[in-house]
Amino acid sequence: MSELIKDLDILFEDKKTEEACGIQVSKEENTGKNRKLYIESYGCQMNFSDSEIVSSIMKDNGFDTTSDFNNADVIFLNTCSIREKAELTVRKRLTDFQKAKSNKPGLQIGVLGCMAERLKTKLLEEEKLVDLVAGPDAYRDLPNLVKTVDDGEKAVNTFLSREETYADISPVRLNSNGISALISIMRGCDNMCSFCVVPFTRGRERSRDPHSIVKEAQDLYDKGYREVTLLGQNVDSYKWSEVLNNKAQLEKIERKEEVDIVNFANLLEMVAKVSPDLRVRFSTSHPKDITDEVLYTIKKYDNICNYIHLPAQSGNSRILKMMNRTYTREWYINRVDAIRNILGEECGISSDMISGFCSETEEEHKDTLTLMDYVKFDFSYMFYYSERPGTLAEKKYEDDIPLETKKRRLQEIIDKQRFYSLERNQLDLNKVHEVLVEGFSKRSEEHLQGRNSANKVVIFPKENFKKGDYVNVLVEECTGATLLGKAIDKK
Ligand code: SAH
Ligand code: SF4
Ligand code: F3S
CATH number at residue 118: 3.40.50.12160
- Candidates 49, 36, 208; CA nearest to 106 is 36
User: How many distinct structural domains can be found in the chain?
Assistant: 4
Question: Of the residues 402, 427, 452, which one is the last residue of a structural domain?
Answer: 427
**What is the rounded distance in angstroms from the CA atom of residue 51 to the CA atom of residue 26?**
8
CA of 69 to the centre of ligand 1 (A): 30
User: Would you say 189 is a known binding-site residue?
Assistant: yes
CATH number at residue 476: 2.40.50.140
Residue located nearest, by CA, to atom 5 of ligand 1: 82
Kindly state whether residue 44 falls inside one of the protein's structural domains.
yes
CATH number at residue 420: 3.30.750.200
Contact 64, 37 (CB under 8 A): yes
The burial of 244, by beta-carbon neighbours within 10 Å (0-12 exposed, 13-18 middle, 19 or more buried), is given as exposed
Q: Which amino acid is at 295?
A: L
Per-residue pLDDT reduced to its tens digit, 305-330: 999 999 999 999 999 999 999 999 99
**Same domain membership, residue 183 and residue 296:** yes
**Same domain membership, residue 127 and residue 21:** yes
Atom of ligand 2 nearest to the CA of 324: 2
Q: For ligand 2, which residues put their CB under 6 angstroms from it?
A: 189, 191-193, 196, 198-199, 233-234, 286
**Same domain membership, residue 455 and residue 418:** no
pLDDT at residue 386 in the model: 97
**Same domain membership, residue 409 and residue 392:** yes
Helix (H) or strand (E) run with residue 266 in it: helix 264-272
pLDDT at residue 10 in the model: 40
The burial of 375, by beta-carbon neighbours within 10 Å (0-12 exposed, 13-18 middle, 19 or more buried), is given as buried
Residue located nearest, by CA, to atom 13 of ligand 1: 352
**Same domain membership, residue 192 and residue 128:** no
Prediction pTM value? 0.93
**Same domain membership, residue 485 and residue 379:** no
Cα 269 from chain centre:
21
* Strand stretches in 115-243, DSSP E: 132-134, 155-157, 180-184, 186-187, 206-207, 227-231, 239-241
Q: What is the DSSP letter of 99?
A: H
CA of 187 to the centre of ligand 3 (A): 11
Beta bridge partner(s), residue 156: 133
Does residue 284 have a cis peptide bond before it, meaning omega lies within 30 degrees of 0? yes
Kindly state whether residue 8 falls inside one of the protein's structural domains.
no
Residue located nearest, by CA, to atom 3 of ligand 3: 44
**What is the rounded distance in angstroms from the CA atom of residue 244 to the CA atom of residue 318?**
39
Handedness of CA 316, 318, 321, 327 (dihedral sign): positive
**Same domain membership, residue 450 and residue 410:** no
**Same domain membership, residue 417 and residue 378:** yes
**What is the rounded distance in angstroms from the CA atom of residue 376 to the CA atom of residue 287?**
16
User: Would you say 305 is a known binding-site residue?
Assistant: no
pLDDT at residue 46 in the model: 94
Q: Which residues of the chain have pLDDT under 50?
A: 9-20
CA of 354 to the centre of ligand 1 (A): 8
**Same domain membership, residue 180 and residue 135:** no
Kindly state whether residue 7 falls inside one of the protein's structural domains.
no
Kindly state whether residue 167 falls inside one of the protein's structural domains.
no
User: Would you say 193 is a known binding-site residue?
Assistant: yes
pLDDT at residue 21 in the model: 55
**Same domain membership, residue 124 and residue 231:** no
**What is the rounded distance in angstroms from the CA atom of residue 18 to the CA atom of residue 327?**
26
CA of 141 to the centre of ligand 3 (A): 20
pLDDT at residue 5 in the model: 53
pLDDT at residue 372 in the model: 98
Contact 36, 64 (CB under 8 A): yes
**What is the rounded distance in angstroms from the CA atom of residue 263 to the CA atom of residue 251?**
21
Atom of ligand 2 nearest to the CA of 284: 4
Question: Of the residues 157, 192, 207, which one is the last residue of a structural domain?
Answer: 157
**Same domain membership, residue 359 and residue 297:** no
Q: Is the CB of 233 under 6 A from ligand 1?
A: yes
Domain that holds residue 453: 432-490
